[in-house]
Amino acid sequence: MNCIIIDDEAAARTIVAHLCSQVDNLDVIEEFPNAISAMKFLNRNDIDLIFLDLHMPDFSGFDFIETLKNPPKIVLTTSDKNFAIEAFGYDCIVDYLLKPITFTRFLKSVQKAQKEKVTPPVAPAPILKETTTLVEKELYVNIDRRLVKILFEDIYLIEAKGDYILIKTEKKNYTVHSTLKKIVEKLPDALFLKVHRSYIINFKKIIDIEDNSVLIAKNVIPISRSNRPELMRRLNLL
């Protein structure tokens, strides 16, 4: 089995790598100090098993799993026993190893991973929104009793402002009496994503991402923890 190790602590990675070296037919292909670098690797390589630390800065093990379309088998490694029940809600997680890890317990995890099969998730049939068909490229908003056309590709940010929303485009901004919940139903998923309770972004307009925020134009937009995995999944990471 080919495996990788993801843990922000170098000592922890060394321990798991040493344990792996004592098991026949278990090869460590790569080690990673964070989930982002591991995601880039997985975009180009197939792996049988991941030893994944649960608690890492900015991006937890659960967040990382949510970004994977077809996750391989995963063994969580952690010193926190409080998330075992949540962990086994994921079909891809085959075991939950508590640190410090003994070789006997480690070997049982590997044997379990070798026996169990991960059932790949079945993608639901695509549903076209009634308001966003394949030919629609624009949105009409009511501004001072006039219906103003706004092209989807021109919108880079939509922000909640109490009972109103602020639609920001490259040419002009529009204040509309509406809610984020209502407008998100009108927007094409191929371009837009709600990253925070107060913000929807056109992720094609992202300049860069740092920690838990994105830069669009001159706007620094926060990313909520619950929405971060979906944003990372949609990015074309190199």
Encode pLDDT of 95-113 as tens digits.
999 999 999 999 999 999 9
The amino acid present at 161, given as its one-letter code, is K
Domain ranges of the chain: 2-115, 138-234
Structure tokens at 25: 């037919």
pTM listed for this prediction: 0.65
With bands split at pLDDT 50, 70 and 90, how would you rate the model's confidence at 207?
very high
For the domain made up of 138-234, the CATH class stated in words is: mainly beta
pLDDT in tens, 23-34: 999 999 999 998
Measured CA to CA in angstroms, residue 113 lies from 10, 86, 91, 177 at distances of 24, 19, 12, 53
With bands split at pLDDT 50, 70 and 90, how would you rate the model's confidence at 225?
confident
With bands split at pLDDT 50, 70 and 90, how would you rate the model's confidence at 120?
low
Angle at 20 between CA 19 and CA 22, to 5 degrees: 70
User: How is 19-84 classified by DSSP, letter by letter?
Assistant: HHHTSTT-EEEEEESSHHHHHHHHTT---SEEEEES--SSS-HHHHHHH-SS--EEEEEES-GGGH
Structure tokens at 68: 């994977």
Tell me the fold of 2-115: Rossmann fold (3.40.50)
Do 138-234 and 2-115 fall under one CATH topology? no
Pairing of strands 93-98, 138-143: unpaired
The amino acid present at 173, given as its one-letter code, is N
Question: What mean pLDDT do residues 6-31 have?
Answer: 95
Reference 232, options 3, 122, 69; nearest CA is 69
- On the question of pLDDT at 180 being above 50, the answer is yes
